[in-house]
């Protein structure tokens, strides 16, 4: 395998990993606040379809992304009200969100099936793209990929270096204690959930505006679920999410890699790879029970009812 092909593969791994990066960043923030939202797949599909329809009808890719963000946040608001206000089970509510989003996206997307969009054009960043090898892999992408770099960096700083990050983690670790020191737990969780929804929206928009770029029913093909696994893989750390997203991107384009080695395997078997890889990775990560317990937000998935607090 020559250097040229390797560059192409790594470039493609980043492109393929980008939607996973967006959605997993959103989910990690949500989970840090103690909320497990299994509705990612549904929100992502809604982001994809609304992003596509918005871009298709206005002719503006930017409005497409904006529409997807708003839609993702709105979808997560349904989840937030049920879980935070009505104390509904997070697992069941998340599943409902995914089932609802899958159906609704197919329903409203039926009018634009078969349409295509130009997509975002790649932009070679000045200076950076001239770095040998690295420049070809990282700095000749479209604007959303750069946005994902920026988001990763900003979230890393916010979570690890700011008071806001501390508040978020306090809510996820021990909501009762956070409440006692005057943090508005529900408010923080609302914001974290809606941030997660907005990111799932962008992630969907990336699929339908850049990656494919068109709308096909169920086009996210389980990426929302893989993102949930990615958060476990990254043990709730932002930097590792980026690495993980690109590794999963690589697993998804394994057919390119194998062709590079001159192997040919049925594309349907190769399509299984990201899911198999996800299972294997999860097993390896979770097998160390002590470590996982140490890293996961302590109140993850558990309800918090301020009315029970005297």
Q: Please, what is the minimum distance in Å from the beta carbon of residue 280 to another protein?
A: 10
- Runs of H (alpha helix) within the chain: 3-32, 40-58, 61-80, 90-109, 134-138, 143-161, 163-173, 175-180, 185-205, 223-233, 238-252, 254-260, 267-270, 273-287, 289-295
Q: Are 104 and 47 in contact (CB under 8 A)?
A: no
Give the integer Cα–Cα distance in Å for 247 and 27.
Answer: 18
Name the minimum Å distance from CB 179 to another protein.
18
Pick 154 or 269: Cβ nearer another protein: 269
Q: How far is the CB of 142 from another protein (least distance, A)?
A: 27
**Residue 275 CB, nearest approach to another protein (Å):** 4
Cβ proximity to another protein, 59 vs 217, nearer residue: 217
- Minimum distance, C-beta of residue 89 to another protein, in the bound complex (Å): 7
CB of 292 to another protein, least distance (A): 7
For another protein, the closer of residues 163 and 293 by Cβ is 293
Q: What distance separates the 2 farthest-apart alpha carbons in the chain?
A: 67
Q: Which is nearer to another protein, 228 or 254 (CB)?
A: 228
Minimum Å gap between C-beta 231 and another protein is: 10
Residue placing its CB nearer to another protein in the complex, 3 or 272: 272
Q: Which tokens belong to 211?
A: 């990656």
SS3 214: strand
Is the CB of residue 45 less than 8 Å from the CB of residue 219?
A: yes
Q: Nearest to residue 145, comparing CAs of 116, 127, 121, 128?
A: 121
Tokens of residue 84, six digits: 């935070």
Element spanning 212, H or E = none
Closer of 108 and 123 to another protein (Cβ): 108
Question: Would you say 42 and 75 are in contact if contact means Cβ atoms under 8 Å apart?
Answer: yes
What contacts 231, CB < 8 A, 6 or more positions away? 24, 27, 28, 31, 241
Interface ranges with another protein (CB under 8 A): 38, 42, 78, 82, 86-89, 91-93, 95-107, 110, 217, 221-222, 225, 228-229, 232, 266, 268-269, 271-272, 275-276, 278-279, 282-283, 286-287, 289, 292, 307
- Nearest residue (CB) to another protein, 145 versus 230: 230
In this structure, the number of other CB atoms found within 10 A of the CB of residue 237 comes to 17
């Amino acid at each position: 395998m020559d250097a040229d092909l390797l560059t192409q593969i790594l470039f493609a791994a980043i492109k393929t990993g980008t939607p996973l990066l967006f959605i997993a960043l959103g989910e990690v923030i949500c989970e840090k606040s103690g909320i497990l939202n299994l509705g990612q797949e549904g929100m992502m599909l809604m982001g994809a379809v609304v992003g596509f329809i918005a871009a298709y009808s206005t002719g503006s890719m930017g409005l497409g992304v904006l529409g997807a963000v708003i839609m993702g946040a709105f979808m997560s608001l349904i989840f937030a009200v049920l879980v935070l206000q009505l104390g509904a089970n997070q697992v069941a509510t998340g599943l409902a969100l995914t089932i609802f989003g899958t159906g609704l996206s197919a329903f409203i997307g039926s009018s634009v099936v078969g349409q295509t969009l130009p997509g975002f054009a790649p932009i070679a960043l000045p200076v950076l793209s001239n770095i040998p090898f690295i420049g070809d892999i990282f700095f000749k992408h479209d604007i959303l990929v750069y946005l994902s770099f920026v988001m990763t960096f900003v979230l890393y700083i916010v979570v690890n270096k700011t008071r806001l990050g501390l508040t978020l983690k306090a809510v996820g670790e021990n909501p009762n204690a956070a409440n006692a020191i005057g943090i508005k737990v529900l408010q923080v969780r609302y914001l974290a959930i809606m941030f997660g929804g907005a990111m799932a929206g962008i992630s969907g928009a990336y699929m339908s505006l850049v990656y494919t770029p068109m709308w096909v029913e169920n086009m996210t093909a389980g990426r929302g679920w893989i993102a949930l696994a990615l958060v476990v893989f990254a043990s709730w750390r932002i930097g590792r999410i980026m690495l993980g997203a690109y590794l999963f991107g690589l697993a998804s384009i394994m057919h390119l890699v194998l062709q590079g080695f001159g192997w040919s395997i049925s594309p349907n078997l190769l399509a299984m790879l990201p899911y198999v890889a996800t299972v294997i990775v999860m097993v390896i990560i979770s097998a160390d029970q002590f470590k996982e317990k140490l890293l996961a937000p302590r109140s993850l998935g558990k309800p918090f009812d301020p009315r029970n607090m005297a």
